[in-house]
Amino acid sequence: MLQVIGFDADDTLWQNETFFRLTQNRFADLLSDYVAQDELHQRLIAAERRNLGAYGFGIKGFVLSMIETALEVTEDRVPARVIRELIEAGQEMPRHPIDLLPHAEETVTQLAGRYRLVLITKGDLLDQERKLAQSGLGPHFDAVEIVSNKTEEIYRALFARHGAREGDAMMIGNSLRSDVIPALAAGGWGVHVPHDLTWELEHDDAPEQQSRFRVIPHLGVLQDLITEITEA
């Protein structure tokens, strides 16, 4: 019986990647005299992938990876003003107002009190706490889990901590790699809510053969899916 429902935060409940893309465009403009935009993008993605183990997920790792990439593509000749502008761009990112995605508030409100709702998110602790507070959704969640990564082992531990046995937990998010596939491996349901902008490092193949895998177009139909599952 479904008891625990986990929600991803960024690009599931509110916009996030949009602001990273805006900063990446600014990054490309600053380095346009040194490298083509497509190559710069690939170099940045490679740096972010390398640095995940050291910096984790979130704005800090993104900014440090931009600085590292700027040094690489200019062979350490990047002007100090460019480094300064990259730092300032990173400082501006947490100032963007929270923009809830369609149906996020109504869906979380409807489910609160009927299931144990857990926000399960990666990223910088202070930034995620700030976004949750500004979103107004915090009071609807029974628990908030800000983790360094989302793996099968972490989901197993989280599901157990919140009293869910195999098949009793559901994870909802926009990332197949972080929100869906490891949650399925941990014995839960994995519900994919695609977002138009999803960070490349979160892409993966859909686990079509998994019986507990579902895809919904938006959060507005989540309640119908839960009813279908619980009444089957």
What is the tens place of the pLDDT at every residue in 29-83? 999 999 999 999 999 999 999 999 888 888 999 999 999 999 999 999 999 999 9
For 205, list phi and psi in degrees, rounded to 5.
-80, 140
pLDDT category at 125 given cuts 50, 70, 90 is confident
Q: What is the pLDDT of residue 201?
A: 80
pTM metric for this prediction:
0.92
Name the CATH architecture for the domain at 17-95. Orthogonal Bundle (1.10)
pLDDT at 232 over 80: no
| For the chain, domain boundaries | 4-15+99-231, 17-95
Fold of 4-15+99-231: Rossmann fold (3.40.50)
Dist CA 228 CA 232 (whole Å): 6
What is the tens place of the pLDDT at every residue in 177-207? 999 999 999 999 999 999 998 888 888 899 9
For 101, list phi and psi in degrees, rounded to 5.
-75, 160
Instruction: Name the one residue in this structure whose structure tokens are 């202070």.
Output: 126
**100: nearest Cα among 15, 204, 207:** 15
